[in-house]
Amino acid sequence: MVTLPFWQKKDTKTDKYILTLFLGGEKAYGYAFEERNPDNRSSLYQEHINSSLKDASGKIETIILNCERDLGDNVYLKKTVLFLNSLYTTETGAILEDFYKQIKKLVKSLDLENLGYVTFSEVIIHNFGKKEKHFYFIEESLYDYSIFEIENEVVEKTEKIAKTQTQDETLKEVKKHLKKDIKKIGFFLKKLNKSESVADQIITTNDLPELLTKIYYKDKKEISPSSTHTPVDTAHIDEQYATAAPFALAPGFSESKGISEEVPVSDQKDYTDEKLEPDKKKTFKLALPTFKSPNWSSSFLKQKRFFIIGAVIFLILLIPLYFIFLHQAEISLVTKKENFSTQTNFKVNEQSNFISKYSKPVTVKTSQQTTGEKVSGEKAKGEVTIYNGLFEEKEIVGGTIIKTGGGVSFVITEDVIIPAATTSANLNEGVETTAFGKKKVNVQAAKIGADGNIDSGIKLTVTDYSSSDLYALTAGDFNGGVKKTVRVFSNKDATNLMNKALVLAKKETVNGFNNVETERNYLFGDTFKVEKIKKNYSAEVEEEVDDVEYQLSGKGVVLFTPFAQLIDKVQSDELKDKEFVADTFQLAKVKLEKKNDSNYTYSALVKGQVQNLVDQEGILQNITGQFKWGAAKVLDKQSNIVAYTIRTKPLPLPILPFSQKAIVFKFEK
């Protein structure tokens, strides 16, 4: 009889080791260390992953296997601490809802026991906060740079700077938000040259093991790993370990708590009394067939005998290796489908959990001919004689209006007193005559233009007097009256230029979005705006000019949603216990119904094929390691599955893999 382990990792773990997993956006980093002797640790491994964490389990499992190999035989890592890049968290440190689901799914698929999570900014505060009383931490993620201003170990301010088309442009924008006299510590996805650097001290991947391990022991004194890797006093660690505060809950640690809830210490699991002994590894005993030995009389037969025995041993060793590393299964499912169509409404703003924001610096210029008009010119001037037919003197104040018979108005420019009229009699002829009092005075036209250029001897009436009592005659020709119309820059022109510039800025922002975002997204163009706007006109309003130029600069902002998140949103709101069949979801007739400040309400027609939810995790738990006919019985019990095909590869064996990760579901259209 020969005993062979089949490495059922889900049933076996080694409690004395801690797996440290850092999700950095484009990469995942991992290493493991012995909890009571942190200097005994594996190398740091890294793998490129999709930032959405889809299909990341295979890459992270590679990291885990490498760490287990470094630590020795029969090491099975399970206890895990997560460290998260700012891509996955809010400004308050809570995990974003969509990533929470992915992380929880990831932890469960890898069969890890998650002790908690820590944001990378907290790692930096713990390692540098006491030494640097006031400093910046700049953390790069896939889409932006997060700037944390930290003072006395507290984050006083957080800013996010979206990435633009060029790195130089983005780093210049980052530098604008940093004060020169404050130290800057940075962690970047790619190495920067000296001219690009915005940080005084850069955290490299080589620094991660020491930084991350230190925060694991943040409540224990003098037990973090030393930089020289000298032996650690494990008895001292045992003494201090009892005072350790547990981490905040994280996905996979508790099913009953939300991602942003604070959990009392009394509700959290206490690990101080756990035994640090690995569980017994389960094994399967494989009975080998017995052979009746022939009479090996010749040397040839003896050599053949050794060859056969060696081949049998090789095959015995090869079987478990095949099942562990090569054996896979693909299950094609045909489900009950139905056409689905409905009108849906959803609100879009920067706080919506399915909405993301894209921004980039924009500078646009535009110009146009002016359309405003301005009338200019001079008023006609001259002298009149005012005649007074009344037997009392009259005072005419400056500003009094006099008019011609044609309605042309003039203004007396100064106060004037007109003498009273007098009478005289001719006794010989018996005739009495009246002599009007008179006085000359300067006047000017009430309006600009040539209408005021009147001839000498024109009679004018005085306001509030009859022409028989008081009138005026021009003492000479009036002149100097001219009028002209010119083009000027108007308020209407300024508004038109602003609207044209906003159209150009929106186009530039959308083009930048399309160049940066590679995944399928839906862009809400109505949400476009320009923040921190600066305006520059080449002329002032009412200035006499034929053409005017306008420059607008600021930060173009537009909201969008990844198509996958939009599908999840509609499924959650409209389908309840169903889901869309892959690649059938359609969104049509998207219309902005209402806008209130920065809140937008959209309506849309949703179409596609839907099917009842298939409990893939439940099915996997029941078919892993089963024969095909046993798996078929499980699938037959699923009422919404109408047909299926089970195929194992690369060899068509009748038994399914022992690992859930090696079994893939494929839905047929």
Output the pLDDT for position 196. 67
Q: What are phi and psi of 236, to 5 degrees?
A: -65, -40
Instruction: Output the six-digit token pair for 179.
Output: 């004060």
Output the pLDDT for position 2. 34
CATH top class, domain 380-478: mainly beta
Residue count (the chain): 669
Name the DSSP class of 86.
Answer: G
Question: Where does residue 566 rank: exposed (0-12), middle (13-18), buried (19+ CB within 10 A)?
Answer: buried
Output the pLDDT for position 439. 92
Name the DSSP class of 272.
Answer: T
CA distance 591 to 613: 30
What own/partner pairs with CB < 8 Å and gap ≥ 24 does 492-499 have?
A: 492/371, 492/372, 493/368, 493/370, 493/371, 493/372, 493/548, 494/537, 494/541, 494/550, 496/368, 497/366, 497/367, 497/368, 497/537, 497/548, 497/550, 498/535, 498/550, 498/552
Q: What are phi and psi of 252, to 5 degrees?
A: 90, -10
Question: Where does residue 212 rank: exposed (0-12), middle (13-18), buried (19+ CB within 10 A)?
Answer: buried
Residue that has been written with the tokens 């633009």 in this structure: 164
**DSSP H or E run through 492:** helix 491-516
Task: Kindly list the distances between the CA atom of residue 627 and the CA atoms of 10, 623, 631, 634, in Å, as whole numbers in the listed order.
Answer: 20, 8, 6, 11
**DSSP H or E run through 324:** helix 299-325
Give the three-state DSSP class for 37.
strand
Residue closest to 60 by CA, chosen among 661, 625, 543? 661
CA distance 251 to 570: 24
8 A C-beta contact, residue 655 and residue 626: yes
Question: Where does residue 301 rank: exposed (0-12), middle (13-18), buried (19+ CB within 10 A)?
Answer: exposed
- Ramachandran region of residue 371, left (φ > 0), alpha (ψ -120 to 50) or beta? alpha
Question: Where does residue 626 rank: exposed (0-12), middle (13-18), buried (19+ CB within 10 A)?
Answer: middle
8 A C-beta contact, residue 576 and residue 524: no
Q: Where are the domains of the chain?
A: 2-124+205-267, 133-191, 294-324, 380-478
DSSP for 629-659 reads HHHHHHHHT-TTEEEEEEEEESS--SB--SS
Rg (CA), the chain: 45
Output the pLDDT for position 404. 93
Task: Kindly list the distances between the CA atom of residue 296 and the CA atoms of 289, 301, 311, 419, in Å, as whole numbers in the listed order.
Answer: 20, 5, 18, 163
8 A C-beta contact, residue 581 and residue 640: no
How many other C-beta atoms can be found within 10 angstroms of the C-beta atom of residue 554? 18
pLDDT digits (tens, 9 = 90+) for 110-143: 888 888 889 988 999 988 988 888 999 998 887 8
499 CB-near residues (< 8 Å, 6+ apart): none
413 CB-near residues (< 8 Å, 6+ apart): 398, 441, 442, 443, 444
Instruction: Output the six-digit token pair for 516.
Output: 């940066």
β-bridge pairing 2-4 and 17-23: unpaired
CA distance 25 to 482: 74
Q: Write out residues in the chain with pLDDT < 70, as ranges.
A: 1-13, 194-196, 218-305, 426-427, 430-431, 518, 576, 669
Output the pLDDT for position 518. 66
Name the DSSP class of 146.
Answer: E
Task: Out of 3.10.50, 3.30.420, 1.10.357, 3.40.109, select the CATH number for domain 2-124+205-267.
Answer: 3.30.420
Strand pairing partners for 364?
552
CA distance 445 to 381: 6
Residue closest to 648 by CA, chosen among 638, 659, 656, 658? 656
8 A C-beta contact, residue 346 and residue 591: no
